Amino acid sequence: MDHIVKIISAENVTHNVKRFVVEKPEGFQFVPGQATDLSINKPEWKDNKHPFTFTCLNEKPYLEFTIKIYTNPKGVTHHLGQLSAGDELIISDAWGAIEYKGPGYFIAGGAGITPFIAILRQLHEDSKIDDNVLFFSNKTDKDIILKNELEVILGDKAHFTITSQKDSKYDQRRINADFLKAEVKDFKKHFYVCGPDEMVNEINETLGKLGAKPDSVIFEK
């Protein structure tokens, strides 16, 4: 079922990521980690649907999306970036395979952090964040989405890695087999993986070789 919702606010989170707060349809529910098919309610865009993850808590009276804005003028995020309060979106009912199943390691690349935001916020709200670790890879320091909040939620269990900035104060290793062997203490725990397809495929394959069970690796198939 589709729902037409108005944008309440749109503001920058980083240099190329925006936070959209929108109306929540009556009775609308989602599980942290789930997404929706979203489009812009304009004749030329309303059938151009793309998946975006809810980043607020389900209990909030609004919905929130944290979206990376790309510069391609033919792309939907470029046009999303030009919207403001009062503009309308179309969303579907919630769907998705990424769901919290127990303590473990969250591994994210860039905008791949977005399915984990609501999960981590909910765990923090419920005082159940202990025994969870985040490995979050970005190209540069300024690309890190919600860095300060993630540090508040996870403390020293928020590990940021930077791959394209030589003077970064953060870890500059890639998240690969060597990194995982060095940093993961228990491969029997759950692994939550989201990022570019190539990264997800590589990490999932590597986790399998390092002893993680297939049903303990959660990602959007």
The verdict on residue 35 lying in a domain is yes
Domain stop point among 59, 91, 123: 91
pTM (global) more than 0.75: yes
The verdict on residue 84 lying in a domain is yes
Q: Which residues pair with 104 in a beta bridge?
A: 190
CA atoms within 13 A on the CB side of 47: 2
Backbone angles phi, psi at 52, to 5 degrees: -140, 145
Cα–Cα–Cα angle for 62, 107, 11, rounded to 5 degrees: 35
Spatial neighbors of 128 by CB under 8 A, at least 6 apart, are none
The per-residue pLDDT for range 150-170, each reduced to its tens digit, is: 999 999 999 999 999 999 999
The per-residue pLDDT for range 38-96, each reduced to its tens digit, is: 999 999 999 999 999 999 999 999 999 999 999 988 899 999 999 999 999 999 999 99
Q: In the prediction, which pLDDT does 88 show?
A: 98
Distance CA 184, CA 161 (A): 15
CATH number of the CATH domain containing 48:
2.40.30.10
Distance CA 151, CA 155 (A): 5
Considering its fold, how many domains does the chain have in total?
Answer: 2
Residues 116 and 82 reside in one and the same domain: no
User: Cα–chain-centroid distance for residue 190?
Assistant: 17
Q: Is 141 left (phi over 0), alpha (psi -120 to 50) or beta?
A: alpha
